Amino acid sequence: QGSFDDKRLELIHDDAWKYLEQTKEKFDVIVLDLPEPIDAGPAYKLSTVEFYEMVKSRLAKGGTVSLQSGASAWGNHLCYTAMINTLKQVFPIVRPYDAFIPSYGGTWGFAFASIDVKPVTASKVDGLIKTRINRPLRSLDGVSYRRLFALPKHMRKAIADEKTVITVAKPFLIYKPEE
């Protein structure tokens, strides 16, 4: 509650590609809530190595990017695994995770990516909640945070086996028109 009132927050609602090309500003955290790459949409380039190179160049030392990466339910996971593999081409640290999203009726994939941010322990999460939030939370604690990253074996294998690298020249399009 009140996160949008925090003076440290800068909410940018703009053309992400254009904004990152033009700004020289560095960010501690970049949160991306981008549409999936569809053929008819203008945002397919926001899933590419080229875009994530720009994102990486805008991160401050110790910075991280967090993003939704597509459906992660088995059988509907190809965008998710391709996104994770693409991020791995740019960032040395990529931490895929998923969560059940009731409005989607299934699990959705996400990722943290950074140059130099190490994983956080469950006890560290509990300590941060206690000192920074100072009130009980319904869903998040150290154990539930740790669980986010415990992907099922079949999904870990799918990510490990993924070869797709999304580029502007070779986009990954979810809904391709019939040829």
Res. 97: pLDDT tops 70: yes
Q: Summarize the confidence of residues 14-19 as an average pLDDT.
A: 92
Q: What is the pLDDT of residue 158?
A: 96
Paired tokens of 5:
């009132």
Res. 30: pLDDT tops 90: yes
Q: What is the pLDDT of residue 175?
A: 61
Q: What is the pLDDT of residue 142?
A: 95
pTM of the model: 0.89
Catalytic residue selected from 6, 14, 28, 33 = 33
Give the CATH number of domain 3-117+149-161; options: 3.30.365.10, 3.40.50.300, 3.40.50.150, 3.40.50.720: 3.40.50.150
Task: Tell me the pairing of strands 106-114 and 93-101.
Answer: antiparallel
Q: Which pLDDT band holds residue 69 (cuts at 50, 70, 90)?
A: very high
Res. 176: pLDDT tops 70: no
Q: Which pLDDT band holds residue 136 (cuts at 50, 70, 90)?
A: confident
33 is catalytic: yes
Domain boundaries, the chain: 3-117+149-161
Percentage of the chain lying above the pLDDT 90 cut? 66
Q: Which residue has the higher pLDDT, 84 or 136?
A: 84
Q: Which residue has the higher pLDDT, 36 or 33?
A: 33
